[in-house]
Structure 1
Amino acid sequence: MINDWNATLSNLRKGGSAFAKHNPAVVTAYRGLNEALGQAKHLDNKTRELIALAVAVTTRCDGCISSHAAAAQKAGATVEEVSEALGTAVALNAGAAYVYSVRAIEAFEQMDQ
Protein backbone atom coordinates (compact mmCIF):
# COMPACT_ATOMS: atom_id res chain seq x y z
CA MET A 1 0.00 0.00 0.00
CA ILE A 2 1.37 3.41 -1.00
CA ASN A 3 -0.82 5.48 1.31
CA ASP A 4 -3.53 5.00 3.87
CA TRP A 5 -6.15 7.07 2.02
CA ASN A 6 -8.73 6.86 4.80
CA ALA A 7 -6.16 8.34 7.19
CA THR A 8 -5.28 11.00 4.60
CA LEU A 9 -8.93 11.99 4.33
CA SER A 10 -9.38 11.99 8.11
CA ASN A 11 -6.27 14.12 8.62
CA LEU A 12 -7.40 16.50 5.90
CA ARG A 13 -10.75 16.97 7.60
CA LYS A 14 -9.07 17.61 10.97
CA GLY A 15 -6.66 20.07 9.37
CA GLY A 16 -9.54 21.73 7.56
CA SER A 17 -11.27 22.35 10.87
CA ALA A 18 -8.17 24.06 12.21
CA PHE A 19 -7.86 26.14 9.04
CA ALA A 20 -11.53 27.13 9.30
CA LYS A 21 -10.97 28.28 12.87
CA HIS A 22 -8.07 30.52 11.84
CA ASN A 23 -9.35 31.71 8.47
CA PRO A 24 -13.13 31.28 8.37
CA ALA A 25 -13.73 33.64 5.44
CA VAL A 26 -11.57 31.63 3.05
CA VAL A 27 -12.97 28.28 4.18
CA THR A 28 -16.54 29.57 3.91
CA ALA A 29 -15.84 30.80 0.37
CA TYR A 30 -14.24 27.46 -0.56
CA ARG A 31 -17.21 25.54 0.80
CA GLY A 32 -19.51 27.84 -1.17
CA LEU A 33 -17.72 26.84 -4.38
CA ASN A 34 -18.34 23.19 -3.62
CA GLU A 35 -21.98 23.84 -2.76
CA ALA A 36 -22.43 25.67 -6.06
CA LEU A 37 -21.14 22.60 -7.90
CA GLY A 38 -23.84 20.53 -6.22
CA GLN A 39 -26.46 22.74 -7.88
CA ALA A 40 -25.21 22.06 -11.41
CA LYS A 41 -27.90 21.00 -13.86
CA HIS A 42 -26.10 19.17 -16.66
CA LEU A 43 -23.65 16.76 -15.01
CA ASP A 44 -24.63 14.25 -12.39
CA ASN A 45 -22.67 13.93 -9.17
CA LYS A 46 -20.86 10.76 -10.24
CA THR A 47 -19.60 12.42 -13.43
CA ARG A 48 -18.43 15.50 -11.51
CA GLU A 49 -16.57 13.30 -9.03
CA LEU A 50 -14.91 11.31 -11.81
CA ILE A 51 -13.76 14.58 -13.37
CA ALA A 52 -12.59 15.86 -9.98
CA LEU A 53 -10.63 12.68 -9.33
CA ALA A 54 -8.91 12.93 -12.71
CA VAL A 55 -8.07 16.58 -12.06
CA ALA A 56 -6.76 15.66 -8.60
CA VAL A 57 -4.33 13.29 -10.28
CA THR A 58 -3.17 15.93 -12.76
CA THR A 59 -2.60 18.43 -9.94
CA ARG A 60 -0.94 15.79 -7.73
CA CYS A 61 -3.08 16.60 -4.69
CA ASP A 62 -3.28 13.70 -2.21
CA GLY A 63 -5.98 15.40 -0.18
CA CYS A 64 -8.05 15.90 -3.33
CA ILE A 65 -7.49 12.29 -4.37
CA SER A 66 -8.69 10.98 -1.01
CA SER A 67 -11.69 13.29 -0.92
CA HIS A 68 -12.85 12.69 -4.47
CA ALA A 69 -12.15 8.94 -4.40
CA ALA A 70 -14.48 8.69 -1.39
CA ALA A 71 -17.07 10.93 -3.04
CA ALA A 72 -16.90 9.03 -6.35
CA GLN A 73 -17.42 5.75 -4.53
CA LYS A 74 -20.35 7.24 -2.60
CA ALA A 75 -21.81 8.51 -5.90
CA GLY A 76 -21.79 4.97 -7.26
CA ALA A 77 -18.74 5.04 -9.52
CA THR A 78 -17.18 1.70 -10.38
CA VAL A 79 -13.47 0.97 -10.43
CA GLU A 80 -13.78 0.60 -14.22
CA GLU A 81 -15.26 4.11 -14.52
CA VAL A 82 -12.56 5.50 -12.25
CA SER A 83 -9.89 3.76 -14.35
CA GLU A 84 -11.27 5.27 -17.56
CA ALA A 85 -11.37 8.74 -16.01
CA LEU A 86 -7.80 8.32 -14.79
CA GLY A 87 -6.76 7.17 -18.26
CA THR A 88 -7.90 10.57 -19.50
CA ALA A 89 -5.76 12.23 -16.82
CA VAL A 90 -2.73 10.21 -17.93
CA ALA A 91 -3.31 11.15 -21.57
CA LEU A 92 -3.74 14.80 -20.67
CA ASN A 93 -0.53 14.90 -18.66
CA ALA A 94 1.35 13.37 -21.56
CA GLY A 95 -0.24 15.95 -23.84
CA ALA A 96 0.65 18.77 -21.47
CA ALA A 97 4.26 17.56 -21.31
CA TYR A 98 4.34 17.56 -25.11
CA VAL A 99 2.89 21.08 -25.39
CA TYR A 100 5.27 22.44 -22.75
CA SER A 101 8.20 20.69 -24.43
CA VAL A 102 7.35 22.58 -27.63
CA ARG A 103 7.22 25.80 -25.58
CA ALA A 104 10.56 25.02 -23.91
CA ILE A 105 12.25 24.43 -27.29
CA GLU A 106 10.77 27.68 -28.55
CA ALA A 107 12.03 29.55 -25.47
CA PHE A 108 15.47 27.97 -25.79
CA GLU A 109 15.72 28.93 -29.43
CA GLN A 110 14.67 32.53 -28.70
CA MET A 111 17.36 33.09 -26.07
CA ASP A 112 20.39 35.12 -27.04
CA GLN A 113 23.46 33.00 -27.41
Structure 2
Amino acid sequence: MAAKWAEKMTALVKSVGAFGKANKPVAEAFHTLEIATRAEGTLDAKTHELIALAVAVTTRCDGCITAHAAAAKKAGASQAEISAALGTAIALNAGAAYVYSARALEAYEEL
Protein backbone atom coordinates (compact mmCIF):
# COMPACT_ATOMS: atom_id res chain seq x y z
CA MET A 1 0.00 0.00 0.00
CA ALA A 2 2.27 2.78 -1.28
CA ALA A 3 0.55 6.04 -0.51
CA LYS A 4 3.31 8.51 -1.45
CA TRP A 5 2.80 10.65 1.65
CA ALA A 6 5.11 13.46 0.54
CA GLU A 7 3.01 13.88 -2.60
CA LYS A 8 -0.14 13.80 -0.46
CA MET A 9 1.29 16.60 1.71
CA THR A 10 1.99 18.77 -1.35
CA ALA A 11 -1.49 18.13 -2.72
CA LEU A 12 -3.06 18.78 0.69
CA VAL A 13 -1.35 22.15 1.08
CA LYS A 14 -2.46 23.12 -2.43
CA SER A 15 -6.08 22.02 -2.00
CA VAL A 16 -6.45 23.54 1.47
CA GLY A 17 -4.99 26.77 0.12
CA ALA A 18 -7.50 26.77 -2.72
CA PHE A 19 -10.36 26.17 -0.30
CA GLY A 20 -9.06 28.99 1.89
CA LYS A 21 -9.33 31.36 -1.04
CA ALA A 22 -12.78 30.06 -2.00
CA ASN A 23 -14.21 30.26 1.53
CA LYS A 24 -12.05 32.55 3.61
CA PRO A 25 -14.41 32.81 6.63
CA VAL A 26 -14.54 29.04 7.15
CA ALA A 27 -10.81 28.62 6.57
CA GLU A 28 -10.07 31.36 9.11
CA ALA A 29 -12.50 29.83 11.61
CA PHE A 30 -10.86 26.42 11.23
CA HIS A 31 -7.43 27.97 11.72
CA THR A 32 -8.66 29.76 14.84
CA LEU A 33 -10.04 26.47 16.16
CA GLU A 34 -6.72 24.72 15.58
CA ILE A 35 -4.87 27.50 17.41
CA ALA A 36 -7.36 27.28 20.28
CA THR A 37 -6.53 23.60 20.81
CA ARG A 38 -3.01 24.67 21.72
CA ALA A 39 -3.77 27.95 23.50
CA GLU A 40 -3.65 26.78 27.09
CA GLY A 41 -0.32 25.05 26.63
CA THR A 42 -1.55 22.14 28.75
CA LEU A 43 -0.36 19.56 26.23
CA ASP A 44 3.10 19.70 24.76
CA ALA A 45 3.33 19.66 20.96
CA LYS A 46 4.30 15.98 20.79
CA THR A 47 1.37 14.83 22.93
CA HIS A 48 -1.02 17.04 20.94
CA GLU A 49 0.17 15.51 17.68
CA LEU A 50 0.03 11.93 18.98
CA ILE A 51 -3.61 12.48 19.96
CA ALA A 52 -4.35 14.19 16.64
CA LEU A 53 -2.77 11.33 14.70
CA ALA A 54 -4.76 8.70 16.62
CA VAL A 55 -7.97 10.66 16.00
CA ALA A 56 -7.04 11.02 12.33
CA VAL A 57 -6.90 7.24 12.08
CA THR A 58 -10.26 6.80 13.81
CA THR A 59 -11.89 9.36 11.48
CA ARG A 60 -10.12 7.84 8.45
CA CYS A 61 -8.83 11.21 7.20
CA ASP A 62 -5.78 10.85 4.92
CA GLY A 63 -5.20 14.60 4.96
CA CYS A 64 -5.19 14.62 8.75
CA ILE A 65 -2.90 11.58 8.85
CA THR A 66 -0.50 13.32 6.48
CA ALA A 67 -0.41 16.60 8.39
CA HIS A 68 -0.26 15.12 11.88
CA ALA A 69 2.27 12.38 11.06
CA ALA A 70 4.60 15.10 9.78
CA ALA A 71 3.88 17.32 12.78
CA ALA A 72 4.37 14.43 15.23
CA LYS A 73 7.72 13.61 13.66
CA LYS A 74 8.73 17.29 13.78
CA ALA A 75 7.66 17.43 17.45
CA GLY A 76 10.03 14.56 18.22
CA ALA A 77 7.60 11.65 18.48
CA SER A 78 9.35 8.33 18.05
CA GLN A 79 8.02 5.46 15.96
CA ALA A 80 7.35 3.58 19.21
CA GLU A 81 5.29 6.48 20.59
CA ILE A 82 3.34 6.79 17.36
CA SER A 83 2.73 3.03 17.32
CA ALA A 84 1.45 3.18 20.91
CA ALA A 85 -0.93 6.03 20.06
CA LEU A 86 -2.15 4.14 17.00
CA GLY A 87 -2.65 1.02 19.11
CA THR A 88 -4.99 3.07 21.28
CA ALA A 89 -6.86 4.18 18.15
CA ILE A 90 -7.23 0.56 17.07
CA ALA A 91 -8.55 -0.45 20.48
CA LEU A 92 -10.96 2.47 20.52
CA ASN A 93 -12.36 1.53 17.12
CA ALA A 94 -12.76 -2.05 18.28
CA GLY A 95 -14.47 -0.80 21.44
CA ALA A 96 -16.86 1.34 19.44
CA ALA A 97 -17.75 -1.63 17.22
CA TYR A 98 -18.34 -3.72 20.35
CA VAL A 99 -20.66 -1.10 21.89
CA TYR A 100 -22.56 -0.61 18.63
CA SER A 101 -22.87 -4.37 18.22
CA ALA A 102 -24.69 -4.44 21.55
CA ARG A 103 -26.93 -1.61 20.31
CA ALA A 104 -27.67 -3.57 17.12
CA LEU A 105 -28.76 -6.56 19.19
CA GLU A 106 -30.96 -4.26 21.34
CA ALA A 107 -32.55 -2.89 18.16
CA TYR A 108 -33.13 -6.42 16.88
CA GLU A 109 -34.75 -7.46 20.14
CA GLU A 110 -36.98 -4.37 20.31
CA LEU A 111 -38.06 -4.57 16.67
TM-score (norm 2): 0.96
Amino acid at match of 1:72: A
The equivalent of 1:52 in structure 2 is 52
Count of aligned pairs between the two proteins:
111
CA distance in 1, matches of 2:40, 2:11: 29
Segments of 4+ in structure 1 off by > 4 A? none
CA distance in 2, matches of 1:38, 1:74: 16
The equivalent of 1:95 in structure 2 is 95
Residues 68-92 of structure 1, C-alpha deviation per residue, up to 9 Å, x if partnerless? 0000000000000000000000110
The equivalent of 1:64 in structure 2 is 64
Q: CA deviation at 1:26?
A: 0.3
Matching of residue 15 in structure 1 with residue 15 in structure 2: yes
CA distance in 1, matches of 2:106, 2:66: 38
Q: CA deviation at 1:2?
A: 2.4
Amino acid at match of 1:64: C
The equivalent of 2:81 in structure 1 is 81
Q: Percent identity?
A: 59
Amino acid at match of 1:45: A
Unaligned stretches of 5+ residues in structure 1: none
CA distance in 2, matches of 1:18, 1:55: 25
**3-state DSSP of counterpart to 1:41:** coil
Q: CA deviation at 1:43?
A: 0.9
Q: CA deviation at 1:38?
A: 2.5
TM-score (norm 1): 0.94
Amino acid at match of 1:17: G
Q: CA deviation at 1:108?
A: 1.4
Amino acid at match of 2:11: N
How large is the RMSD of aligned CA atoms in angstroms? Answer: 0.9
Q: CA deviation at 1:35?
A: 1.1
Unaligned stretches of 5+ residues in structure 2: none
The equivalent of 2:34 in structure 1 is 34
